[in-house]
Amino acid sequence: MTRDHGRLRKGLTRRRFVTIAAVAASLPVWARASAPVARWTGTAMGAQASMALVGLDDASVRTVFAAVEAEVARLEDIFSLYRETSALSRLNRDGRLDAPPADMVRLMRLCNDLHRATRGAFDPTVQPLWQIYAAAAVQARLPSGNELARTRGLVGWANVEIGDRSVRFARAGMALTFNGIAQGYIADRVAGLLRNRGLTSVLIDMGEITALGRHPDDRAWRADIAAPDGETIGRVDLEDRALATSAPMGTLLDRSGRVGHILDPRTGRPGGGWRTVSVSAASAALADGLSTAFCVMPRTGIDQVLAAHPEATLKVLD
């Protein structure tokens, strides 16, 4: 990788924010408005992150912050493309990973279900295509037809062998990216951690949003859905529910602003049929994966997938 390519890769990383507002279930309504707010800032999946807890004592806040930070770091060590020692990076480098972490196997099996349900529109083996688009962008061009043809031969979820003892690629040169689903998965894991600690009124925003219970004011949590230009195009009430939004032009793979970051693994071309897709589901990982796939699917195909997944709801298709 050239130095310029490395700078471009960092510049193309989508910003992610983690904001958690949690209130102890026993906090009385009259006290919530004046409850102390504790804030944490750091990084998650290589980007800026922040967190706020409301209504907990100092000792509890420190314990929760430390637990969430440790969980995010643990999952980054599995799913990050930017940590050379992560499980994903080692799999991409070696083409095989023995004793894969349980979280990786669990997520890959969900990817398998989504790949089948979307008839190939969701496919984490798209990473080699992303790499050639990023490399071409450094040279202010698009990949050639020959480059695309060669690279498409490395794309295909059927060539990923998944087992509890090992994960491997059937073809040399393959690589995975979980960027279309890992944010949702991490949000689910953080939500489970907080739920296990007795927090019942929680909003988590890690690029994808998960709401536990209700807002401290005894109403549903509310999330705005924004288009890439910042325009609010939807508003969703959430209660024990997740919301994921994808936009092909939300991150650009070229400096001219023509090529979005969501690629169709079936054609090798950028997706662009929809400006913004937002999906709600009980699981943030499911919502995340579906919103990614729907960006490159026609409405008829989207409706077929939703009919097979009644737990998911399409909130915005713009």
Condensed to tens digits (0 to 9), the pLDDT of residues 74-126 reads: 999 999 998 999 999 999 999 999 999 999 999 999 999 999 999 999 999 99
Q: 0.85 cut: is pTM over it?
A: yes
Contact between 139 and 256 (Cβ < 8 Å): no
Condensed to tens digits (0 to 9), the pLDDT of residues 12-31 reads: 333 333 345 544 443 444 34
b vs e for 106-142, b when ≥16 Cβ sit within 10 Å of the residue's Cβ?
ebbebbbebbebbebbbbbbbbbbbbbbbbbbbeeeb
Give whole-number Cα distances, 279 to 87, 88, 227, 285, 307, in Å: 28, 26, 14, 11, 14
Whether the pLDDT of residue 250 is over 60: the answer is yes
Multiple choice CATH, 87-169, 1.10.10.60, 3.40.120.10, 1.10.3980.10, 1.10.1060.10? 1.10.3980.10
Q: Where are the domains of the chain?
A: 87-169
DSSP classification of residue 165: S
**8-22, 154-168, 302-316: lowest mean pLDDT where?**
8-22
**97-106, 152-161, 201-210, 273-282: lowest mean pLDDT where?**
201-210
